[in-house]
């Protein structure tokens, strides 16, 4: 198994190819991938790097990706295990809710929220929407405010919301796979960064990155980010029946967590007992 010290590094492309000529062309190229998306599952390894309360140096955890199920466009279930702690980390979402549970005592966190109550990129340390977009499941809406630029090996698609930058997608011009996504908060600061590499074809015309690194920044202390790295293996298409769907993509109530809260528009509402 490949763990933290041996976790593959994100490779930055250097080859330069001509980019797309218009926003419409760029969006159409990305939409072709999302139009071919299909349910899939994977396993692999996960590495967490974080700052625990009262600690000045980053802590780390290595997890086995026991299960990753993705049922586009909104359903995701991630389970990371650590001996002797099964379900050390659970990340999930469905049409209505998202949730994150991290059991190691250094964090002991359960956070959840309703999609209808979110209006920003701010949220839990690992946001299921960020992971879905990193996996190529994001909604590419041509009706939104997009602009296109080019820098080095990348086409850069920038989305604005009410005049403020909300997201930047860095697309390698040679294969037109997204290699980096920057998510911005309502103040125009980078709230999260997803770096992507080693794309694999899951089904005809649908590609997924096998190496994903998500960095989430604490806006009160940007020097102490939460870093989540996934090294996926055995990515394969799957069929999900209704019984599996109800089990995997239904939020379970918190039990035994020190920190419990709900996210409403980026704000933490404490629900700890």
More confident residue, 244 or 53: 244
More confident residue, 217 or 15: 15
In angstroms, rounded to a whole number, what is the distance separating the alpha carbons of residues 211 and 269?
A: 33
In angstroms, rounded to a whole number, what is the distance separating the alpha carbons of residues 47 and 2?
A: 10
More confident residue, 118 or 92: 92
More confident residue, 270 or 128: 270
Q: Between the CA of residue 94 and those of 76, 116, 134, 250, 264, what are the distances in Å?
A: 7, 12, 17, 7, 17
Select the CATH number that applies to the domain covering 16-270 from these four: 2.50.20.10, 3.40.50.2300, 2.120.10.70, 3.40.50.720. Answer: 2.50.20.10
* 127-131-135 Cα angle (round to 5): 165
- The ranges assigned to domains in the chain are 16-270
**What's the pLDDT score for residue 113?**
92
Residue 154 buriedness (CB in 10 A; 0-12 / 13-18 / 19+)? buried
**What's the pLDDT score for residue 3?**
44
Q: What percent of the chain has a predicted confidence (pLDDT) above 70?
A: 92
Tokens at 201, concatenated: 């074809």
Q: What's the pLDDT tens digit per position in 101-110? A: 998 777 889 9
Q: What's the pLDDT tens digit per position in 147-165? A: 999 999 999 999 998 899 9
For range 239-251, the mean pLDDT: 96
**What's the pLDDT score for residue 95?**
93
Radius of gyration of the chain (CA): 18
**What's the pLDDT score for residue 1?**
37
* 76-80-81 Cα angle (round to 5): 150
Nearest to 232 by CA among 214, 215, 202, 211: 211
**What's the pLDDT score for residue 4?**
43
């Amino acid at each position: 198994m490949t763990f933290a010290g041996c976790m593959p590094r994100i490779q930055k492309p250097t080859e330069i190819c001509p980019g797309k000529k218009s926003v419409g062309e760029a969006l159409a190229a990305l939409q072709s991938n999302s139009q071919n998306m299909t349910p899939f599952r994977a396993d692999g390894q996960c590495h967490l790097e974080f700052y625990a309360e009262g600690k000045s140096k980053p802590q780390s955890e290595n997890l086995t990706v026991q299960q990753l199920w993705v049922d586009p466009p909104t359903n995701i279930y991630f389970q990371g295990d650590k001996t002797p702690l099964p379900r050390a980390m659970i990340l999930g979402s469905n049409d209505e809710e998202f949730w994150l549970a991290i059991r190691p005592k250094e964090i002991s966190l359960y956070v959840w929220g309703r999609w209808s109550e979110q209006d920003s990129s701010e949220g839990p340390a690992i946001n299921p929407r960020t992971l879905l977009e990193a996996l190529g499941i994001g909604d590419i809406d041509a009706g939104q405010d997009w602009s296109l630029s080019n820098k080095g090996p990348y086409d850069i698609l920038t989305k604005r919301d009410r005049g403020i930058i909300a997201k930047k997608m860095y697309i390698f011009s040679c294969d037109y796979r997204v290699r980096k996504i920057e998510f911005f908060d309502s103040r125009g600061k980078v709230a999260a960064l997803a770096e992507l590499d080693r794309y694999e074809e899951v089904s005809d015309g649908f590609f997924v990155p096998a190496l994903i690194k998500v960095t989430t920044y604490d806006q009160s202390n940007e020097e102490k980010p939460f870093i989540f790295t996934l090294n996926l293996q055995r990515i394969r298409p799957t069929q999900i029946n209704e019984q599996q769907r109800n089990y995997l993509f239904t939020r379970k109530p918190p039990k035994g967590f020190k920190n419990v809260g709900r996210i409403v528009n980026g704000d933490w509402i404490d629900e700890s007992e």
